[in-house]
Amino acid sequence: MRTEKITAILYALLAAIFYAVNVPVSKVLMNGIGPTMMAALLYLGAGIGIGILSIFNRRDMEKSKKLAGKDLPYVIGMILLDIAAPVFLMIGIRTGSSSSASLLGNFEIAATTVIALFVFREKVSKRLWTAIALITVSSILLSFDGSNFFSLSYGSLFVLLATVCWGFENNCTRNISSKNTYEIVILKGIFSGLGALGIAFFEGESFPEARMAVLALLLGFFAYGLSIFLYVRAQNVLGAARTSAYYAVNPFVGAFLSFVFLKEKLSLVYILALIIMAAGSALVVADTLINHHAHPHTHTFTHTHDGTTHTHTVTHTHGHDHFITDDLHGHHHAVSELESLPGAVHHNI
């Protein structure tokens, strides 16, 4: 069990690192690839890569629920938004700094939550509202170009627009997230990639040389496709809350890579925005780990001493991620709860 948990933690961290590599590496590759073409190749790489993986995992494919006709509106919305979002992101990366773009990616948390609140009527805690406010303030600071306090960065605005698109996309995807994960990622990758490819050709962008195209496809497989794949694998063991906590490191990894490999400079405004963004991200993690679906649970414990059976019922409130052990005194515990154990919560990607 311990080995399985350690493996799952490594999966979650690798998922975060793979996605974090996307921003700085994309900036380098766009020296020879247009932004819309880059977005197309990233998604095509994800779809093709996960498609190849699915061939070797037919058992998983057969066990999972397939997408149905009623899911079509969400699938179409997911694909259209996945065409727009990476195009906006690539434009933002090309015209702005890679480090700021990495941190601005956390604005997706705020966008997704606000859309979920007003469109799907989900409840939002005070802690999460505070986190959204901090992330928004940090995003505003990162959006100024530094030459004039009231002059907005063109690149940052496109990155923020991308996160809003992904916020809507997250809320579309959550409605079909119980279906086959391979199928969802393949549909996202292939159709979003082909859509962006068509737009790229319409805009007059040329297809890159073979070496650059292969590098972009490989980046898409790791940063988009494999990242999601590993995230889901980690969820199966850790549950959604803890997996999200590990995955939240990805914007900071991306910013770090930008400073080390792209030699981007640190400014006082950036450092201030980094601190505020880190505080907001920490509150998101705390809200997920502490109060995620917390509600009263009834535990009924039945045990036997000297041939006499005793039953105790205890009601208390806690979140989903907990475990009940029956290691003490050789008791047999019959547990009745309002949830399944362990790791009952599953987060949508």
Residue pLDDT, tens place only, 289-298 = 665 444 444 4
pTM, to two decimals: 0.68
Average pLDDT over residues 103-111: 76
281 token code pair:
């991200």
Give residue limits of the domains in the chain.
2-291, 295-349
**Nearest partner of 105 among 41, 20, 170, judged by Cα:** 20
Residue type, 121: R
Q: Which residue has the higher pLDDT, 98 or 320?
A: 98
Task: Give the range among 126-135, 149-158, 278-287 with minimum mean pLDDT.
Answer: 149-158
> What pLDDT is attached to residue 42?
94
Confidence of residue 1 (pLDDT cuts 50, 70, 90): low
- With a cut of 90, say whether residue 125 has pLDDT above it: no
Mean model confidence pLDDT for the chain: 75
Average pLDDT over residues 106-113: 75
pLDDT tens digits for range 156-194? 889 889 989 988 887 787 778 777 878 888 998 999 999
**Nearest partner of 270 among 108, 135, 152, 141, judged by Cα:** 141
> What pLDDT is attached to residue 39?
92
**Nearest partner of 96 among 22, 156, 142, 171, judged by Cα:** 156
Alpha helices, H only, the chain: 2-20, 22-29, 35-55, 58-63, 72-95, 98-104, 107-120, 126-142, 154-173, 181-202, 210-220, 227-238, 240-247, 250-261, 268-291
> What pLDDT is attached to residue 343?
33
**Nearest partner of 258 among 93, 142, 136, 11, judged by Cα:** 93
Q: Which residue has the higher pLDDT, 322 or 250?
A: 250
Contact 180/66 with Cβ under 8 angstroms? yes
Which of 8-22, 23-37, 89-103, 121-135 has the largest mean confidence?
Answer: 23-37
> What pLDDT is attached to residue 347?
34
DSSP assignment letter at 226: I
pLDDT tens digits for range 193-222? 999 999 999 999 999 999 999 999 999 999
301 token code pair:
């414990």
Average pLDDT over residues 284-311: 56
> What pLDDT is attached to residue 194?
96
> What pLDDT is attached to residue 154?
78
Q: Which residue has the higher pLDDT, 328 or 56?
A: 56
Q: What are phi and psi of 305, to 5 degrees?
A: -125, 125
> What pLDDT is attached to residue 283?
82
Distance CA 126, CA 138 (A): 18
> What pLDDT is attached to residue 329?
40
Within 8 A by CB and 6+ apart from 195, the residues are 40, 79, 80, 83
> What pLDDT is attached to residue 152?
59
- With a cut of 80, say whether residue 28 has pLDDT above it: yes
